[in-house]
């Protein structure tokens, strides 16, 4: 599906669903701005847009395939970006609770093309504003790109907040519970944080040096917006790094607790085994099918049981004296 939004500088007006066959006329004024948003598109639609703007075949190929990392490719007439939005569903059972959705962007002097496999909330918010007013389109394609990416970054914060709550719950539960649920929660948190960092770090590099050697040129009036975007990315990335360390330390603590509990159990079982060994010898001796002196005594069994109890008590006393238990 292809949606278009056109800002006419001369008329200071927004137009929706314009005819792309008149692309050259629409872009004749460098102050005007054309935004083409494509989602759930076919290869035919993508190639049509590619032929219309003469996009490089390698960039179009990246749009048809899944790119694992965010990146920036600079061409003579435009820049090509790959970003990733995040979809978080904690109750997912058959798939990972967090997944990334690719957003491909072509940005020229007075046009921008966004391509994504499904409808994205970050793009939809900007589109709704563009239908009503010209505010976002006046400052050029860099500002429109900033708005879209900033909405994506804003969507990261609820995920980060929820992960912090889950880590707090995990830290409390490891001292009270144990078992498969704790291990599954640890593994789920690790997978989520790994994907989060995998998305954040490359995107942070794209915006890390605005107007620097490894970034794209941004108009002077838009630089403060991108610096604010970098601050947000740094905040989310720093928090993700902190959560990674917390989960790792919580994992170490959990397994230390498990090992401690296992050692306690082994200690108790070992003590029971040691106490039972001489008692087993005694019962085996007196259980032989031969005549034993004193066996005719009516109190014979009581004496044997008292002797065994005294031996067990003496052994426990020795263990406590040596602080083995």
Cα(91)–Cα(195) distance, integer angstroms: 17
Q: Which residue, among 169, 157, 168, has the nearest Cα to 88 in the 3D structure?
A: 157
Q: What is the pTM of this model?
A: 0.79
Cα(138)–Cα(38) distance, integer angstroms: 22
Q: What is the pLDDT, as a whole number, of residue 17?
A: 85
Cα(129)–Cα(61) distance, integer angstroms: 31
What mean pLDDT do residues 283-301 have?
70
Q: What is the pLDDT, as a whole number, of residue 214?
A: 61
* pLDDT tens profile 195-220: 899 999 988 888 877 766 667 788 88
* pLDDT tens profile 162-185: 999 999 988 888 877 666 788 888
Give percent helix, percent strand, percent coil of the chain, each to the nearest 5: 60, 15, 25
* pLDDT tens profile 68-102: 888 999 898 999 999 999 988 877 665 678 888 99
Q: What is the pLDDT, as a whole number, of residue 294?
A: 64
What mean pLDDT do residues 264-268 have?
80
Domains of the chain: 2-258 (3.30.460.20), 263-321 (no CATH)
Which position has the higher pLDDT, 59 or 277? Answer: 59
Angle at which helices 57-64 and 43-53 cross, to 10° = 150
> Following DSSP, what letter does each residue of 284-295 receive, concatenated?
HHHTSSS--TTT
Element (H, E) at 52: helix 43-53
| Strand boundaries in 173-294, DSSP class E | none
Residue 110 CA to its chain's centroid (Å): 35
Give percent above pLDDT 70 in the chain: 92
Q: What is the pLDDT, as a whole number, of residue 212?
A: 67
């Amino acid at each position: 599906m292809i949606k278009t939004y056109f800002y006419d500088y001369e008329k200071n007006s927004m137009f929706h669903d314009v005819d792309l066959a008149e692309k050259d006329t629409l872009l004749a004024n460098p102050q005007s701005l054309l935004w083409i948003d494509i989602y759930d598109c076919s290869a035919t639609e993508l190639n049509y847009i590619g032929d219309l703007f003469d996009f490089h075949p390698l960039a179009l190929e990246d749009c048809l395939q899944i790119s694992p990392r965010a990146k920036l490719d600079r061409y003579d007439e435009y820049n090509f970006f790959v970003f990733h939005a995040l979809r978080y569903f904690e109750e997912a059972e058959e798939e990972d609770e967090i997944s990334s959705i690719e957003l491909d962007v072509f940005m020229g002097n007075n046009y921008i093309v966004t391509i994504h496999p499904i409808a994205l909330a970050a793009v939809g918010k900007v589109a709704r504003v563009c239908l009503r007013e010209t505010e976002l389109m006046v400052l050029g394609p860099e500002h429109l790109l900033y708005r879209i990416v900033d909405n994506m970054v804003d969507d990261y914060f609820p995920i980060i907040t929820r992960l912090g709550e889950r880590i707090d719950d995990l830290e409390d539960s490891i001292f009270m519970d144990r078992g498969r649920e704790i291990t599954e929660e640890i593994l789920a948190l690790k997978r989520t944080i790994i994907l989060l960092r995998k998305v954040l770090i490359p995107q942070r590099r794209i915006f890390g040096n605005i107007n620097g050697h490894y970034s794209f040129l941004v108009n002077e009036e838009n630089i403060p917006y991108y610096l604010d975007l970098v601050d947000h990315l740094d905040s989310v990335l720093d928090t993700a790094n902190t959560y990674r360390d917390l989960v790792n330390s919580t994992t170490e603590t959990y397994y230390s607790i498990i090992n401690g509990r296992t050692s306690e159990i082994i200690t108790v079982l070992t003590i029971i085994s040691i106490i039972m060994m001489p008692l087993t010898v005694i019962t085996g001796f007196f259980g032989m099918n031969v005549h034993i002196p004193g066996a005719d005594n009516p109190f014979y069994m009581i004496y044997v049981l008292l002797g065994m109890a005294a031996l067990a008590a003496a052994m426990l006393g020795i263990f406590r004296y040596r602080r083995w238990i």
